[in-house]
């Protein structure tokens, strides 16, 4: 069982918007603004899409945005395009007896 | 630009040790702003953080793997390495290395996002 909870799948039509949730606890998502999101196409390495909850690395489309409320972070993709179809993972710093990084179980995005 | 490349055996026998190396090019591993991490992904499953190391040698490990994991760094070769002991079939996965951003805030050190990632290498545990 993954440390952070994501829906297994979401879908949307081209041009629509979708949101993927990532639920943790006050020890990770809720306690720190160190949430990041990754896109992974089949057979490829993950790619950083959002860091520090809502910041986009250089070169990432502004169709991707992130937010957080309480213990749940969210990734929103607007203006869905066929190439957005991929797996998406959230990640967070976690404070426990040591320092940790935890991932969500991943969400498969299907563009209909 | 910064690139990372994993290398090592693709097949390991059960109960033996898995050893991988990540070579960093296009930049120095001796950066004060980053740790260097290992992440794995079993076939068809999600990502799991294994651990991260600073160029000075300080390490943090996933508590669930800590008893079997050793991560080391060789700054002269711009490389860092992973050793996982007593492997079983459950350790079969694609292993990625990645640069791991670190921050300090009012309460201390935090490990944050991973970027860039290596291409990954599949390690199969089988006799």
DSSP code per residue over A61-74: -TTEEEEEETTEEE
CB atoms within 10 A of CB B111: 23
| Cβ–Cβ < 8 Å for A61, A48 | no
The reported pLDDT for the residue numbered B106 is 85
Shortest CA gap A68–chain B (Å): 16
**Residue B41's pLDDT is what?**
98
d(CA B7, CA B23): 8
pLDDT for residue A96: 84
Share of chain A above pLDDT 90, in %: 94
Query: What is the mean predicted confidence (pLDDT) over A11-34?
Result: 96
Q: Is the pLDDT of residue B108 over 90?
A: no
Round to whole Å and give the CA distance between A108 and B112. 23
Alpha carbons within 13 A on the beta-carbon side of B90 = 4
Q: Which residue of A has its CA nearest to B47?
A: A103
Percentage of chain A exceeding pLDDT 70: 98
- At A82 the three-state DSSP class reads helix
Q: Which residues of B touch A89 (CB under 8 A)?
A: 46-47
In this predicted structure, what is the pLDDT of residue B68?
Answer: 98
The span from the CA of A30 to the CA of A94, in Å, is 10
A-B Cβ pairs (cutoff 8 Å, strict): 73
Using the predicted structure, report yes or no on whether residue A37 has a pLDDT greater than 80. Answer: yes
Alpha helices (H) in B4-111, listed in sequence order = none
Query: Tell me: the pLDDT tens digits for B24-79?
Result: 999 999 999 999 999 999 999 999 999 999 999 999 999 999 999 999 999 999 99
């Amino acid at each position: 069982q993954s440390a952070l909870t994501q829906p297994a799948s979401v879908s949307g039509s081209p041009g629509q918007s979708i949101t993927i949730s990532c639920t943790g606890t006050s020890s990770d998502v809720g306690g720190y603004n160190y949430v990041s999101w990754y896109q992974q196409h089949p057979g490829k390495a993950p790619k950083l899409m959002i860091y520090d909850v809502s910041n986009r690395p250089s070169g990432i489309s502004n169709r991707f945005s992130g937010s957080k409320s309480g213990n749940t972070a969210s990734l929103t993709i607007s203006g869905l395009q066929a190439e957005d179809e991929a797996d998406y993972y959230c990640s967070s710093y976690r404070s426990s007896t040591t320092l940790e990084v935890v991932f969500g179980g991943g969400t498969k995005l299907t563009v209909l | 630009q910064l690139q990372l490349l994993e290398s090592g055996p693709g097949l390991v026998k059960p109960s033996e040790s898995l050893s991988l190396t990540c070579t960093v090019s296009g930049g120095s591993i001796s950066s004060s702003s980053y740790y260097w991490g290992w992440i794995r992904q079993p076939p068809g499953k999600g990502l799991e953080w294994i651990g991260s190391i600073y160029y000075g040698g300080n390490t943090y490990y996933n508590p669930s793997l800590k008893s079997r994991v050793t991560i080391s760094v060789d700054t002269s070769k711009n490389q860092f390495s992973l050793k996982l002991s007593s492997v079983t079939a459950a350790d079969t996965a694609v292993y990625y290395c990645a640069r791991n951003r670190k921050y300090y805030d009012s309460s201390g050190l935090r490990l944050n996002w991973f970027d860039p990632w290596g291409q990954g290498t599949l390690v199969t545990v089988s006799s």
